[in-house]
Structure 1
């Protein structure tokens, strides 16, 4: 029976028990294969290798096909060559050389109208770009990385964008953080608390930073929506202005982070007389 992982390991020449080592394996393998993988998991390089090799073969095949996509031939009499006549092979080679020498747009091709015929075979190239593109897109599969991030390829089409793919990618990264990174960091956080305080405070926790970032226009829209919602709640008597100021002061991502929630601005009296506005400080 093969153990799932070694009990002891060596770090800088010292034998260390496995409960002192934090292992992070995001792509584990069955226990039978763990010794072959040094008790770790499958690397991203191993997952990407077959996809990259297939893409390289596709590119080489397309390049070779483009190089010889058009075949030009000359139907001529082969009786002398097949019968083994003297000098027939040399004459055939000379005819082929003459044919190749004159097969340009600026030259004149001469053929025997009775015994020779010119033909051309062209291979369709309409789907070659699609073959390369599909083969290249498959390389993004193992890493779950959007094409615009991995290869810089933007989606084509009217109003096409990569926002949906990037959001799915961010969700995938967040799931990796929660599944693999959080358990490791929680162990470290608990050890630090035990070393500093002698106990674990359940009120101390951490959250991963959001991967989704808003641009200036989107952030302005969100701030406006929050301000309108706060105004409605204040007008309805659900919350007070001091509670809104407290929320703004604690919002580190906002423009009003760190304001003194207890230092209220001076109230303003606004008197309107027709189109004339008079502002009197109270």
Structure 2
């Protein structure tokens, strides 16, 4: 059935020109109003950039809801239902910077945990994540007495503590924390105790390291939680002298409140206090910091690929006077199709005597360097070498120097020492109560020794051991060290040349020669 306007059917287009002018105006008016309505509908369904940058709104972008459990001391008094949203948050005072999406485009804002989780699915971001986690925690370490020969610490207890770290798979726990911290800006872990999931669980009470609180064998495990499912419960914003000033005293984890002493957070790129609520008390995501540079790399890569496809253009000069008529336009289009069908090297191309054929080629020199520089910018912001990011040495980029590799190793060692060792110390203190019901190894009696980040080749390692032993021997010959001191230094260094020396053997290796 044909459409109607004011009760009259619309005629076919071929007969439209024969209609009265007044009726033609009505048809045009109807079509224009219909088009305006369609444009308004499209604009209403697509949110503006300003709308996307508003704080979480319960009525928009809601992913799900949950109701918090009863508060401690208020049995049956439930807090209001919480909403989880995928809408970005924006701190107060960032309205001007947020115009046009600049707040998120520059990798500065907080786009929300769902958006950050989606970044890790792309190959370029996954390379950043893998290089970060594997570079820092490719291997683990162990507790060792400060002095392996004169230590008062029971070596058996140290071995039991190291075995407990392996039993509870602490290495995998730390890898999850580092992975979440790279993606979301925060790694969040829980200390789970036996009975926490029951009706008498004490998740809201502080976890004090005392025999009364920490019974023997009560530790259930250590679990890394995706930050998407957590939110701060209570924190102080009034008294700067409070230890909980802009620091959550408890966390909500899927509707259950956990005291902060039962939680472990890994944040290596923190934000200032005014931004912490907007960032859900997490830090800055490394993947989101790299987003502008990854976008530049992807755009450059696509443009180079498109340029390779269109580097050669054939220009056919012909008579365009025929375009003025409808029949001439048809002949021109037919000529263009015939030209494209015969332009490859396997066909015969014929042109008229009044036509001119020109080959226009775009120079490609320098494209490899531009593409390599776009890739190198990703390594600059993530502070890793090109070899670590790509797994090989791309053409157009200089090989990673020894200095760059050493600097990368130093940054990984610093990351281990500053951010991971405090978590290992906390876990080890908890495991001591789990093993023995009390703390037997005091802080300072042992030291945490990491496995080397990179091992030298066997021949280079053997030369290093030999040079170290020769240096000790020269120090003994010159009277700088005694033979016993050299022996102790050789044992502590882990030199493979000391394998034949027994720790219990305390005789002087310098022989029976005595000074008169």
Q: TM-score range by the shorter chain?
A: 0.7 to 0.9
Q: Tell me by how many angstroms 1:147 deviates.
A: 1.3
Q: Could you say if the C-alpha distance between residues 16 and 104 of structure 1 is closer, same or farther in structure 2, counting changes exceeding 3 Å?
A: closer
Q: Tell me by how many angstroms 1:26 deviates.
A: 0.5
Contact 1:147 1:154 survives alignment (8 Å): yes
Higher RCO (C-alpha 8 Å, min separation 6):
2
Q: Tell me by how many angstroms 1:7 deviates.
A: 2.0
Residues 79-103 of structure 1: CA deviation (Å, up to 9, x unaligned): 1222x2x632232233223323332
Q: Could you say if the C-alpha distance between residues 129 and 152 of structure 1 is closer, same or farther in structure 2, counting changes exceeding 3 Å?
A: same
Contact 1:72 1:119 survives alignment (8 Å): yes
Supply the distance in 2 between the matched residues of 1:254 and 1:262 (Cα, whole angstroms).
Answer: 19
SS of equivalent to 2:313: strand
Q: Tell me by how many angstroms 1:197 deviates.
A: 4.2
Q: How does 1:161-172 map to 2 (within 5 A)?
A: 161-172=400-411
Q: Tell me by how many angstroms 1:169 deviates.
A: 0.8
2:412 equivalent to 1:173: yes
Supply the distance in 2 between the matched residues of 1:101 and 1:65 (Cα, whole angstroms).
Answer: 22
Partner of 1:102: 342
Q: Could you say if the C-alpha distance between residues 189 and 87 of structure 1 is closer, same or farther in structure 2, counting changes exceeding 3 Å?
A: closer
1:46 to 266, 288, 298: 288
Q: Tell me by how many angstroms 1:50 deviates.
A: 2.8
Partner of 1:32: 274
Q: Tell me by how many angstroms 1:20 deviates.
A: 4.5
Worse-matched range after superposition: 141-150 or 190-199: 190-199
Partner of 2:376: 137
2:263 equivalent to 1:21: yes
1:91 to 301, 316, 331: 331
1:81 to 302, 323, 329: 323
Q: Tell me by how many angstroms 1:179 deviates.
A: 2.5
Q: How does 1:132-281 map to 2 (within 5 A)?
A: 132-154=371-393, 160-188=399-427, 196-197=438-439, 200=442, 202-257=444-499, 259-260=501-502, 261-262=505-506
Q: Could you say if the C-alpha distance between residues 202 and 224 of structure 1 is closer, same or farther in structure 2, counting changes exceeding 3 Å?
A: closer
Residues 195-226 of structure 1: CA deviation (Å, up to 9, x unaligned): 63479454433344443432222222222222
Supply the distance in 1 between the matched residues of 2:365 and 2:333 (Cα, whole angstroms).
Answer: 35
Residues 157-179 of structure 1: CA deviation (Å, up to 9, x unaligned): 9x955432221111111222232
Q: Could you say if the C-alpha distance between residues 130 and 255 of structure 1 is closer, same or farther in structure 2, counting changes exceeding 3 Å?
A: same
Supply the distance in 1 between the matched residues of 2:444 and 2:340 (Cα, whole angstroms).
Answer: 85
TM-score, length basis structure 2: 0.45
Q: Which has the larger radius of gyration?
A: 1
Q: In structure 1, list runs of 5 or more residues that go unmatched.
A: 268-282
TM-score, length basis structure 1: 0.77
Contact 2:315 2:357 survives alignment (8 Å): yes
Residues 57-80 of structure 1: CA deviation (Å, up to 9, x unaligned): 222222222211111011111112
Q: In structure 2, list runs of 5 or more residues that go unmatched.
A: 1-236, 239-244, 512-516
Contact 2:316 2:356 survives alignment (8 Å): yes
Partner of 2:35: none
Supply the distance in 2 between the matched residues of 1:95 and 1:202 (Cα, whole angstroms).
Answer: 87
SS of equivalent to 1:63: helix
Supply the distance in 1 between the matched residues of 2:427 and 2:337 (Cα, whole angstroms).
Answer: 78
Contact 2:387 2:400 survives alignment (8 Å): no
